[in-house]
Amino acid sequence: MSAVPPEFQPRPDLTDLQEALAYSTLLYSVVGPQAEASGLNDPGCFYLFGLHPVTGQTKHEWFHARMGPLGARLLAETAIAWAAQGFDVWMLSATVPRKSMGKAHDLIWVFGLVIDFDGYGRAPFPESFAIQTSLRNGELHAHLHYITGMLPGPAHAIGDELRAVAKADSKTGSPSQKWRFPGTVNYKNPPQRVVVREHYLPDWNIQIRAYSQKALEDLLPQASQDGISRRSTNIDRRKPLPEEGRTFDEIVAKMPPIVWRYTGDCLPQFNKRMNSEGTGPSRHYHLNCAAQFAFDVGITPNEFTRFLIADAPTGYAAKFLDRGGPWELFLDVERNYHKWLSNQSKKQNAA
């Protein structure tokens, strides 16, 4: 096993068991009654996942949703023990069968939808609570949680709508995404404690705002700035994008040559990383780079999406085209555009 660099040494001093226990107690107090009311025979388990940032070692544990206070304590203590050993710790906002790794088709009950706030995006209405995952150079990264309760089918549809409205990171709204566990450590340099935002501390005995399935369905279209519902039940995502702006030939003529470096057909040869050692930048990173260069010269999100579909259909675009069609790809490009706008604003303010 390779030596662990000093900046990734375990930091048990940054962990907070009480923070973790407050969070796990909240989850058990919410999910247990929800499962009983829903009529589920088996509400499933909370799934905890640990990953060592240097060695790549993983840890997995499951805690049944009906274990009550004992389950809450075991969940919190396990999360803190892993963090004290140098692991980043995440958990799904959905329950799964024991030994399931949290794939979308395994979800039993979704108790939360989350906005992945990485310095850009917005909460369309007040979150139930926010978890600060890092604060670097004055930029806050956080997970904005909406406590809810529903089956996976409607959760995926509502999560799509939340992602479109929030205009945040692409992981937003995904019921099968793992989120950092409060009281543990984010080991990205420098290591920092993962904490619930200060306006919810230190008293966790507050009335946490929860949103029913119907409340979210009613609120999200109202929060959309463009008034267009992108929920999967309301739009055919495989229909072509409208031909807005430049023609394809005009887009190609305006596109900076460096963009081809990031969008070529070589991209899908590794699922997550760009080289066989697993250490290169991800395909998503390459799309971000290509999008920034395109937006710099005035290419619009619609034009850039059409360019990807036509010029690199087996490159980065393939992941989205296979999963949800051109509109799924467009929404991801649009999120990159809002990140670009945010960066432009910061540059102007710094000038």
Q: Can you give the pLDDT at residue 7? A: 64
Res. 320 pLDDT band, cuts 50 70 90: low
The 10 Å CB-count burial string (b at 16+, else e) for 131-168 is bbbbeeeeeebbbbbbbbbbebebbbbbbbbbbbbbbb
d(C-alpha 343, C-alpha 295), whole Å: 12
Q: What is the pLDDT of residues 180-213, one digit of tens each?
A: 999 999 998 689 999 887 444 344 444 578 899 9
Q: Can you give the pLDDT at residue 77? A: 98
Closest to 186 measured CA to CA, from 83, 255, 285: 83
> What is the residue-averaged pLDDT of the chain?
79
Q: What is the pLDDT of residues 4-50, one digit of tens each?
A: 666 668 999 999 999 999 999 989 988 888 877 888 889 999 999 99
Half-sphere exposure for 175 (CA within 13 Å, toward CB)? 28
On whether the CB atoms of residues 107 and 128 are closer than 8 A, the answer is no
Q: Can you give the pLDDT at residue 157? A: 87
97, pLDDT greater than 90: yes
Q: Can you give the pLDDT at residue 228? A: 36
154: its two tokens: 């409607």
* R_g of the chain, CA atoms, integer Å: 21
| Residue pointed to by tokens 């306006």 | 199
Average pLDDT of the segment spanning 171-179? 90
Q: What is the DSSP string of 178-217?
A: EEEPTTSEE-SSSPEE-EE-GGG-S---S---B--HHHHH
Res. 163 pLDDT band, cuts 50 70 90: confident
Q: What is the pLDDT of residues 44-83, one digit of tens each?
A: 999 999 999 888 999 999 999 999 999 999 999 999 999 9
Q: Of 71-80, 235-244, 303-312, 328-337, which has the strongest mean pLDDT?
A: 71-80
d(C-alpha 19, C-alpha 176), whole Å: 24
247, pLDDT greater than 70: yes
Res. 324 pLDDT band, cuts 50 70 90: low
275, pLDDT greater than 60: no
AA letter at 160: D
DSSP count for the chain of H helices, then E strands: 10, 11
Residue ranges of the domains in the chain? Answer: 6-223, 248-345
89: its two tokens: 């710790």
Compare 330 and 202 and report the one with higher pLDDT. Answer: 330
312, pLDDT greater than 70: no
pTM of the model: 0.66
Q: What is the DSSP string of 111-157?
A: EEEEEEESSS---SS--SEEEEEEEETTEEEEEEEEEEEE-HHHHHH
Res. 91 pLDDT band, cuts 50 70 90: very high
